[in-house]
Structure 1
Amino acid sequence: MSSHQNNKPILDSSWISSFLGIKGNEFLCRVPIDYIQDPFNRTGLELFPQTLDVFLNLVFDRSTDWVSGDEEKLYGMIHARYIVSKRG
Structure 2
Amino acid sequence: MSCCCGEDCRPLGFLLGLPFAFVSLLLSVIGVFIWIVGLALTCICPCCLCATIIVELALSLIKAPFSIMKWFTSKIPC
TM-score, normalised relative to structure 1 = 0.26
Which structure shows the bigger proportion of residues in helix conformation?
2
> Which structure would you say has the larger RCO, counting Cα contacts within 8 Å and 6 or more residues apart?
2
Q: TM-score, normalised by structure 2?
A: 0.28
Larger radius of gyration: 2
